[in-house]
Amino acid sequence: MPVARVKICGLTDENAARMAASAGADAIGLVFYPPSKRYVTTSQAASIASAIPPFVQRVGLFVNETKEAVERIKDTVQLDLLQFQGGESPEYCESFNFPYIKALQMKPGVDITESFKAFPNARAFLLDTYHPDQHGGIGETFNWDEFPDYSDKPLILAGGLNPDNVQDAIKACQPYAVDVSSGVESGPGIKSTEKMQAFVRSAKSIEVMS
């Protein structure tokens, strides 16, 4: 049966990355945004990425970073996918000639489908909870009734997900994938093996429409 893919974001050490992959995660996220509690340096990220087995994607999360820094990190860490979490323009995102996903905040009153049109070459869109000052990782859900019921690109659901609510989230939104960070932690940036296992198990036990 078709099931939602799972991305576990904000990995900060090799063991947690191995445990995420072992739990069944389809992708892991590495945060290259210094203000984040889950920030990793390029060398740390390279070590974490090297611990990931084949067929698990390495996603690099950036927030309004310089093009030079993204290029350097992308090549050094050998990322599979870029995730732009800030106010990056379509021209900026396209300039890398590399697969990327664009994160969009679900700001009340904003037609998110208009934002889809601005990034026609994005591989997918990640929809996250709106916050005026933060770029993800706040551990709060948004109104799932506002999740678009159609897009010509895969949609990734993020924002406040955890092992207890991910099944309800998937039933309500029917996303291509779900993204979790703080919801599988025992502390900021410290991933819990048990919570990661429970999250993946719950997420992959729910069928989604293909």
Catalytic residue (choose from 26, 75, 111, 128):
128
Q: Say which residue, 184 or 130, is predicted with more confidence.
A: 184
pLDDT digits (tens, 9 = 90+) for 81-124: 999 999 999 999 999 999 999 999 998 877 888 889 999 999 99
Q: What is the DSSP letter of 53?
A: P
**Residues 19, 52: Cα–Cα separation, whole Å:** 9
Question: Global pTM?
Answer: 0.94
Sketch the domain layout of the chain as residue ranges. Answer: 5-205
Residue 195 half-sphere exposure, CB side, CA atoms within 13 Å? 19
| Other CB atoms within 10 Å distance of the CB of residue 29 | 25
**5-205 in CATH: which number?**
3.20.20.70
- Any idea how long the chain is? 210
pLDDT in tens, 5-59: 999 999 999 999 999 999 999 999 999 999 999 999 999 999 999 999 999 999 9
Q: Can 111 be counted among the known catalytic residues?
A: no
Q: Which positions ≥6 away from 168 have C-beta within 8 Å?
A: none
Tens of pLDDT, residue by residue over 122-162, are: 999 999 987 656 555 566 899 999 999 888 999 999 999 99
Lowest mean pLDDT among 106-115, 175-184, 200-209: 106-115
Identify the pLDDT of residue 138. 62
User: Which residue in 9, 26, 93, 179 is the catalytic one?
Assistant: 9
Question: Is 9 a known active-site residue?
Answer: yes
pLDDT at 209 over 90: no
